[in-house]
Amino acid sequence: MARRPIRPIGPIRLRGRRIDYPRRGRSNWRRWTPSWRQVLSVALLGAGALAGLFAAMYASVDIPDENDEARRQGTVYYWADGSQLVSVGTVNRQNVTLADIPDSMEHAVIAAENETFYSDSGVSVKGIARAAVSMVEGGETQGGSTITQQYVKNTYLSQEQSAKRKFKEFFISLKLSNKQSKNAILQGYLNTSWFGRGAYGIQAAAVTYYGVPAKDLDPGRTAMLASLLKGAEQYDPAGGKANHERAVERWKWVLDRQVENGMMTQTERDRYTKFPEPRDTVKPTSLGGQTGYLVDIANKYIKQRSGLTAKDLARGGYRVHTTFEKDKVRELERAVRRVRKHDLDPGKRPQDKYVEVGAASVRPEDGAVVAVYGGADATTRFANNADTSGVPVGSAFKPFVLAAALQNGHGITLDSGYDSAGRLITNTPLAALPTRPPGSGPVPAQIMPETTLRDALVRSANLTFVRLGKDIGLKKVKQLAVASGLHEESLARLDKSFPLGTSTPSAVRMADAYTAFNNDGMRADPYSVTGMTRDGEAVEGFGKPERRRAMDASVANDVRETLGITAWTSLSRDRKLNKLVGEGPMNDLSAGTTDGDDRMRSAWFIGHAKGLTTAVTMFRNKPGTPQLLGMQGVGGDDSERGNVFPLRIWTSYTTGK
């Protein structure tokens, strides 16, 4: 059967009009190549379609009602039992007109954020394109927004990072730029921007950072405040050394940028060479006592798990359910006050001045932080003593050295130890080894007294642990400490003093790390928030942390057994505590502690009893002094460099007496 010949495609018709394609009178590839007229027609048609689509989208997006900041709800924090802990978040803002804002503030903001503000259309096409590419690639949305776009985001839209929100931001910004003057937009932007420290708008920022109204700001101060718009959490000078360095560099850049853009003369710029330090941060009275420290720990955890920022939290409307137990927090605070009142007398002893206490209780089963003591009052001392590193942990670190030896020491047991020649003996009881003959004189400094590892921990024998760390390897000690939950950045350098506790973990982390000894070697990261909602919708990221193995169960149990002896030995040395402890159920008691022979400028006690592991630290810190003060003589000459006081605080907290 003959095949039917293929008929050529006829000319394309569009609404009755003939389009010469494929092109007549052409052969081969020329038949399928459009003419320049056809290319131009298609390009014009496409441009027209895009213009029509753009116009339709522009018309379809309305400028919504402004977000009413004054009606925003506070963020409510709840105790573990569901009762309210505190409500935080009344919006700190007072709108002002441009007449009450110095020109230097306008110049600084425009130079730093959007130098083409007065001439642009209200949007940055490059910024939008960059954000779109980033989102398509799965990355974070990018910056580059104009002042108009930032004002739209602050005033009309949510803070979600999505392509849909960027799309609406673009068209609302275009419309707003056509309907409002640049001065009105700039005024709105300066009244809605987040400057950190709970301050929305330039008026609140001026009062918060410098204690003056916005109209009294000079160019040096306005440049500093403009620097905060890049991110108050990174550029608030009070946020630490790195923050301060970033703030100073950004401040210089903002001033120099104004000179480059003709907004300031070089002569005027040369008048501002000293960075205008803002005043200290002030917390609201609702965050007094321990409340501010509890909120601080909860907020750190929220930012870690959810990705929310301080700015997001300050917008309010969240419901935060914490792990903090009201009775435990209050009892811990009472215990600190009891010991301070009874044992410290700053008026009589200068050594008792500047004494600080930090403490934290963690539930071993799951890592829940049930109580903290961060300091006397969060409104007067902002550093959270319970969750701040920088205080050497001393001999309380030695259990991790012992655990590393038992875990990695190939035959090392609690009955292993060093003979008088400094040799580690793993397979022969020390009692069976030959001893130095009578009359041979004192033991030379380089020769170690015979001791088992069990006795070495109970007696806090420094030389034994220095040698043990060297023999098993300091890296293995560090690995076990990190596996137990200590932050690697809080650990000291690996030198011979490392096993003696030169590291500076927080009280929260020390309490959590010790839970592994009381939980068959298992532990979970400490957590302080069980759930969080906003507008009835759950915020993701708050499942319980997974339990992980830090060490073998047999190792954990051996260390716990030895810490039990350590605890009772420590208690028996303090006559004030013998009767008190004997009256309470302390059958599961175990503890690690610093020793009077420690030369650290701190004292620690980490104890486990009644189902909770609690770390207590004491140190001396004079405001404005970078180094901790010495503990010698605190509370009197017989205080063992203050080491008796964390033990007394822990005992009072545990027994309620």
Do the beta carbons of residue 157 and residue 176 sit within 8 Å?
A: no
Residue 358: its H or E element? strand 355-362
What one-character-per-residue DSSP string does 553-621 give? Answer: HHHHHHHHHHHHHHHHHHHHH-HHHHHHHHTS--TT-EEEE--TT--SS-EEEEEEETTEEEEEEEEE-
Does the predicted model carry a pTM greater than 0.75?
no
CA distance 179 to 160: 25
Give Cα separations from 100 to 148, 203, 213, 450 (angstroms): 20, 9, 9, 79
Give Cα separations from 626 to 361, 390, 391, 621 (angstroms): 28, 10, 12, 8
Identity of residue 341: K
pLDDT tens, position by position, 193-217: 889 888 888 998 998 899 999 999 9
pLDDT at residue number 160: 53
pLDDT at residue number 133: 54
DSSP classification of residue 414: T
Q: Is the Cα dihedral 209, 210, 213, 218 positive or negative?
A: negative
pLDDT at residue number 179: 80
pLDDT at residue number 126: 65
pLDDT at residue number 584: 47
pLDDT tens, position by position, 382-418: 889 999 888 999 999 999 999 999 999 778 999 998 8
Tokens of 374: 């961060």
Secondary structure (3-state) at 373: strand
pLDDT at residue number 21: 66
- Successive 10-residue mean pLDDT values, the chain, 657 residues: 53 54 66 66 62 50 49 79 85 82 94 88 65 49 69 68 60 76 90 87 91 93 95 90 94 95 94 94 83 96 91 84 97 96 91 95 97 94 89 94 92 88 72 45 49 89 92 96 96 95 96 95 97 89 94 96 84 62 56 72 91 95 86 83 88 90
Do the beta carbons of residue 384 and residue 375 sit within 8 Å?
A: yes
- For residue 113, give every residue at least 6 positions away whose Cβ sits within 8 Å of its Cβ, in sequence order, or none: 147, 150, 226, 229
Domains of the chain: residue spans and CATH: 101-269 (1.10.3810.10)
Question: Residue 13 burial by CB count (10 A; 0-12/13-18/19+): exposed, middle or buried?
Answer: exposed
